[in-house]
Chain A
Amino acid sequence: MALDLSRHIAITGMGVVGVFGTNAKELWQWLDDDQTNFGPSSRYYSPLPCAESVRPDMRRMFRSGQLSRAPLISQFAVAAVHMAMEQAGIDTNKGADVDSIGMVYGTSNGPGVATQKIYDDFIEKGASGVKPRVFQESVFNAPASLCSIHFKIKGPIQVLPAGANSGATVLYQAQMLLARPSIKNVIVLCSDELCEAIQSGLRALRWHIAPAGDLSARPEKGRGGIMSEGAVALVLERADAAIKRGATPLVELAGVSTTNDAFRIARPAEDGRGLALAIKQSLDDANEPAEAVDLILNGSTGTSVDDLLEDAAIEAVYGDAQPHRATSKRHIGVAGGTSVLFDVALAVEVLRRSRVPAPLAKTTNQNKNINTIMCNGIGLNGLYGAVLIRRPVW
């Protein structure tokens, strides 16, 4: 009997921009070569370490001076979407149905640099000192709007800031958008940029790692997060439709969930109840048992409380038969709202290459066949998500 693929979701295109470079091959190489690039920002003064993204060459990619003057968060976004659409074989300049393409955008902090500029101008010069262009670039939806304008996307544009859980949130929303018959493709996109005020704010909240010792050192477990930046874009479509149009499904987005722990403002439930529920719901969504998960990409940002609650959640769901676990954040930092999608991008590469990057395999002792990967998301103020990525069965 033929498999009914009408409810299955294929990822057919992927674009990534981050500290490692501007494509998935460079992401893989970065992890496989055990590279890091933590250090103080070159764009502002801060004693805190961070991982700055490679800047995409917008002039070369798009021959556009205007795009190269856009805020970095938007440049990352446009570059990632460009790569994802190219890989998926969708060209809005060559007859793609622009009304049937939707976009769901997620971010943790949005255009933080523009927002800080507004604060500075307002404090220094008063209300009239705020620049109109900076204001229009500061709103959360600005990167998504720029993408929709540049790529002529006329379907729904939805913007959901959800902290470090944004990736799971946008995938959750994309699933619902794909249920609409009029929508053929959904571009999920997350981007974030480094910003002095946000980095120092996160340190004040004791989330960010302290500026002690060697700033280039890889973070030790439980010491805190290190901020990074970048973007990931994925093209999602119904699996049957993707196959019909001759697209190559990279992986299947098998299950998604987003939850909250209903616990306390600024203090997550350490028993991991929110994340455990998200994982269970994601497995239910994919019709998979917990035993089917071959690898977990940790959502913990590196704080002790994140580590604690994720351990508890995994214990609650998987019991003694815990799958192998790995984290990308010790190599690429915590890219705000882009974190979960970076792990999805890594999952795509792991399934495509049928192996885990060497340094991550070392920590997980992972050499067996991997077909199903769970990417966990942990956001501030009790937000959780879980995304199950599966090797396509079709």
Chain B
Amino acid sequence: MIPIIKNRQAIITGVGVVNAISNNFNEFISAMRKGKCGQTLITGLNIEGLRNLTACEAVNFDPAPVYKKRGRLHRKMNRSSELVMSAFDEALTMSGLDPHSVDSEKGAVVFGSTLGGAIAGLHYYRGVLKNKCRPSILQDYSLHAPGYRICIETEFLGPNLVFSSACTSSNQALATALDLIRFGKADVVIAGGYDTLSEVSCSGFSVMRNVSLDLCCPFDVNRQGLVLGEGCAVLIVEASDFSAKRGATALASIKGYGVTSDAFHMTAPDNTALGPAACMQQAISMGGRISDVDFICTHGTGTVHNDKTEAKAIYKVFGDERASQIPCTSIKSMLGHTLGAAGAMNAVASIAGSQSGFIPPTIHFKEPDKQNPLSCSASARNVVPRLALSNSLGFGGANCSVLLELNSSENKK
């Protein structure tokens, strides 16, 4: 049956994050305020033959606390699961939620990932070619394996979904978290996105020639391309009635989303920008007013065509005057393109900004494009965002925007 929409909000009560510039939320706030750049020489992978020798690798991530919490005998996970469990631990602690207080059938897990267990896949395959088959490596290969680990720990019996719609994956996860809650299918959704740097992603983007050989400079007139990143962002999303009962503090709420498709090309964006514009309009009309949007956390990969298309779409939606004034940010300038995790990273970055009273910077930004220039800044701006639009525009023309009402302590006053 088609579900009925219930009168309940999707409240975010906890977040956790790991990426190239931080290992937790507080570090993320501090790193973004300072405009830290996570781009370094790739160390963890065999990069022979790559055009680009740098990426935003989570080099300071230490999975030891993840294992320590679960006991020393806990079996080794792959990097995807380590990143996810680390961010999950932080998000759950921040939310103060006891997952066992949730009706297990009303607990769900929804993630987004582009390449999931790519590291495990190649590792296993190398072994097979050398007649050293290790099937245990494949246990974490499936994209929903990290989510399943969360289900096991929380004893949630609801859906364990994972979206793999390229860069829109985790924005689609957040959109679905809202749906599961407003349709009454879940009281609590653990949502997020993850992707690891892998030989497959590095090689693939390298040969596609959309990777910058220099720094990542989204929306700058001299931008050269994207820089790959890795990480995980997890958000605890609760139904408003459920979170109110336990007196949880709301960091933000998911107010709306839009999902469209360009139906244009397998990799190139449609330069009419109609798809992304429709997507943003859907998100805004579902959960707010266009005049109230005061921050756009852009997709902003740093490629010539993607940024051009996104800026054009922003101008279509907001009109010339507002589009040139609304503070825009691409956090990919700092932590790289985390692929399937990008939407969730944007959401956590927006919450970080609202909690600490600043708009995250677009570092390396110097000179705006002549056409459809956006209001980006290379340094953090002391403005408290209240209603943020977070965009994801993916390979194959998939677009997803999410509208977030941010709940800083100042907003509550």
Contact = CB atoms under 8 A, between A and B. Distances in A.
Contacts of A286: 1
Given A130-B204, A136-B266, A197-B128, A262 B165 contact: no
Given A118-B203, A381-B142, A382-B148, A146 B2 contact: no
A8 B1 contact: yes
Nearest to A108: B142
Contact of A173 (B144, B166, B176, B205): B176
A135 interface: yes
A176 interface: yes
Contact of B263 (A9, A131, A153, A238): A153
Contact of B166 (A139, A175, A204, A254): A139
Contacts of A238: 2
Nearest to A287: B1
B396 A144 contact: yes
Given A157-B261, A258-B161, A179 B394 contact: no
Given A130-B204, A148-B263, A179 B2 contact: yes
Contacts of B144: 161-163, 381, 383
Contacts of B179: 176, 179
Contacts of B183: 176, 179
How many chain A residues sit at the interface, stated as a range, is 35 or more
Interface string A107-134: 0001000011011001101111111100
B159 A127 contact: no
Given A277-B157, A382-B148, A128 B2 contact: no
A156 B259 contact: yes
Contacts of B200: 115, 118-119, 122, 130, 138
Contact of A175 (B2, B49, B138): B2
A176 B177 CA distance: 11
A277 B14 CA distance: 28
A261 interface: yes
A223 interface: no
Given A136-B208, A159-B165, A382-B151, A141 B396 contact: yes
A304 interface: no
Contacts of A98: 263
Given A122-B203, A158-B259, A259 B125 contact: no
Given A141-B395, A149-B266, A154-B275, A259 B158 contact: yes
A149, A152, A260 interface centre (most CB from chain B within 10 Å)? A260
A232 to B, nearest CB: 19
B135 A201 contact: yes
Contacts of B207: 127-128, 130-132, 135
Interface stretch (A21-29, A35-43, A57-65, A263-271): A263-271
A180 to B, nearest CB: 9
B122 A119 contact: yes
Contact of B161 (A119, A162, A273): A162
Interface string B116-157: 000001101110110001010011111111001101101111
B202 to A, nearest CB: 6
Contact of A145 (B114, B160, B396): B396
B214 interface: no
Interface string B156-198: 1111111111100100100010011001000000000000000
Contacts of B135: 201, 204-206
A312 interface: no
Nearest to B339: A139
Contacts of B396: 139, 141-142, 144-146, 148-149, 157
Nearest to B400: A156
Please indicate which of the listed interface residues B1, B203, B398 has the most CB atoms of chain A within 10 Å of its own CB.
B1
A154 B49 contact: no
B222 interface: no
Nearest to B152: A262
Contacts of A99: 260, 278
B225 to A, nearest CB: 14
Contacts of B140: 265
A135 B395 CA distance: 11
30 contacts: A115-B200, A119-B200, A126-B48, A126-B49, A127-B203, A127-B207, A128-B50, A140-B164, A141-B165, A141-B396, A141-B398, A142-B396, A146-B266, A148-B261, A148-B397, A154-B260, A157-B397, A160-B164, A161-B144, A173-B161, A197-B128, A205-B135, A258-B159, A260-B109, A262-B152, A262-B155, A263-B152, A277-B105, A287-B1, A382-B148
> Lowest 10 CB-CB distances: which A-B pairs, in order?
A145-B396, A126-B49, A135-B204, A156-B259, A127-B49, A140-B164, A128-B49, A204-B135, A127-B203, A130-B203
